[in-house]
Amino acid sequence: MTKTLGLIGAGNIGSALARLAVAAGLDVVLSNSRDPETLTGLVTELGERARAATPAEAAQAGDLVVATVPLSSYQQLPAAALAGKTVIDTMNYYPERDNRIAELDAGEQTSSSLVQRHLADSLVVKACNNIDFVRLFTAARTTGAGDRSALPIAGDDTAAKAQVTELLDALGYDAVDIGTLADSWRSEPGTPVYVQPYLPAQPEGLTDQEKWRWFSEAPSNPVSRGKVRELTDTTVRRSAGDARATL
């Protein structure tokens, strides 16, 4: 059972997961690419269950570890410190941000397969990459709630996926196993299960400022296990080089 969640990356997704983990009674060890002192504000907000550390220290401390950095930085993940760990990969390939990665543009690999190749001694599970950070936090519900949402997960190791499923349940989500890391393209940007299903319809005619306010305040749209399965089973693969953020 996960008692401590390590986080490498404390941006929007990492912060949302840290808040959910603390609310679920877990300890969290946060890190980023800068000095741990830069996380003082977030750690103070989270309370006594949280502390800041270096990426290697967060990796070593976590029973499970979340890697949530820009994909362009995946080779900076501390492979030695993560050896033997289950690593949750929330990262997505956005060519306009990450620069072009030839293997992804050619459809030869998924982004999670590249992460697994770098973390050869870890067990990588793709999760929490298909929902925006606002809904990730606000859509969480207790087990059995009628409006509980599900998230797709993918990985090559059955036991590691079971660990992540247990964690997601504690954080407020059901999990839908969509296959191996080679199948994780089914939840990548631009696919039917990416972001939009968790959002209500956006009103027409909004200005850019109004769109951001709407995005920040819009309620979550529940997405069931069955809906996630339907969306991921029927999606058609396209080149990762064409991936774009849906929002």
| Tens digit of pLDDT at every position of the chain (247 positions) | 779 999 999 999 999 999 999 999 999 999 999 999 999 999 999 999 999 999 999 999 999 999 999 999 999 999 999 999 999 999 999 998 888 888 898 888 999 999 999 999 999 999 999 999 999 999 999 999 999 999 999 999 999 999 999 999 999 999 999 999 999 999 999 999 999 999 999 999 999 999 999 999 999 999 999 999 999 999 998 776 565 544 4
101 token code pair: 């990665």
Give the pLDDT confidence of 15-37 residue by residue, as tens digits: 999 999 999 999 999 999 999 99
Q: What share of the chain is helix, strand, coil (3-state, %, to 5)?
A: 45, 15, 40
3-state secondary structure of 158: helix
Close Cβ partners of 229 (under 8 Å, ≥ 6 residues apart):
176
CATH class given for the domain over 4-242: alpha beta
List C-alpha distances in Å: 85 to 36, 48, 73, 120, 127: 22, 24, 19, 11, 15
Give the pLDDT confidence of 123-160 residue by residue, as tens digits: 999 999 999 999 999 999 999 999 999 999 999 999 99
Give the side-chain half-sphere CA count within 13 A for 230: 6
CA–CA dist 111, 60 (Å, integer): 24
**pLDDT at site 73:** 95
**pLDDT at site 103:** 86
The long-range contacts involving 48-54, CB below 8 angstroms and separated by at least 24 positions, are: 49/22, 49/25, 50/18, 50/22, 53/29
**pLDDT at site 246:** 43
CA–CA dist 163, 104 (Å, integer): 28
**pLDDT at site 245:** 43
232 token code pair: 């991921």
Domain ranges of the chain: 4-242
**pLDDT at site 247:** 40
**pLDDT at site 99:** 85
**pLDDT at site 58:** 98
Bridge partners of 5? 28, 64
**pLDDT at site 54:** 97
CA–CA dist 126, 175 (Å, integer): 11
246 token code pair: 């849906």
CA–CA dist 116, 82 (Å, integer): 11
Say what the pTM is.
0.95
